[in-house]
Amino acid sequence: MTAAVQASPNASTWPALLRVGATILLLSAQLGGCGLVRDDIASNVMVTPGKYWRHNCQLLAGTLAGTRQNLDALEKLTARASQGPGGAAIGAAAYRTEYLAARGEEKELLAAMAEKNCKTESSWTSDRTVY
């Protein structure tokens, strides 16, 4: 009679397994959603619009140079991290947010420089004149 009264071990573990499965499903859905946002949209969200409206052209150019150095350093760090096993995921997790924020800063700086008609380095400009 005691064997009939006891519940089977499988029946008591079902609620715990359902909770674990639901948690794993929820976490994977949340993490999967992070990859759906495009980089250009994410970089625009991470910067304050109009942040550089008080800066003059000289200060904008200096800030742009620093931002581009930061971007180069982050690209090198990401490339170095991706050389090892599983490094691409580690590099993306460690440096992607900073990289996107720096890209947004660069876009905002370039927009402010264009609005103020500042001289920028471009492969499309030249010091030559047309006669």
Q: How many domains does the chain fold into?
A: 1
The whole-number pLDDT of residue 68 equals: 94
Mean pLDDT of 41-57: 77
Q: Quick check: is 80 in a domain?
A: yes
- Report whether pLDDT(62) > 80: yes
Q: How far apart are CA 90 and CA 83, in angstroms?
A: 11
pLDDT-derived band at 127, boundaries 50, 70, 90: low
Q: Quick check: is 48 in a domain?
A: no
Task: List, for residues 91-125, the tens digit of each pLDDT value.
Answer: 777 788 888 889 989 999 999 999 999 877 665 55
Mean pLDDT of 64-78: 92
Q: Quick check: is 79 in a domain?
A: yes
Q: Quick check: is 126 in a domain?
A: no
Hey, which of 26-30, 88-92, 120-124 has the most confident mean pLDDT? 88-92
Q: Quick check: is 87 in a domain?
A: yes
The whole-number pLDDT of residue 27 equals: 61
Q: Quick check: is 5 in a domain?
A: no
Domain that holds residue 74: 58-119
pTM for the complete prediction? Answer: 0.60
- Residues 91, 81: contact at Cβ < 8 Å? yes
- The DSSP string of the chain is -HHHHSPPHHHHHHHHHHHHHHHHHHHHHHHHHHTTS-HHHHHHHTS-TTTTTT--HHHHHHHHHHHHHHHHHHHHHHHHHTTSTTHHHHHHHHHHHHHHHHHHHHHHHHHHHHHTT-----TT--S----
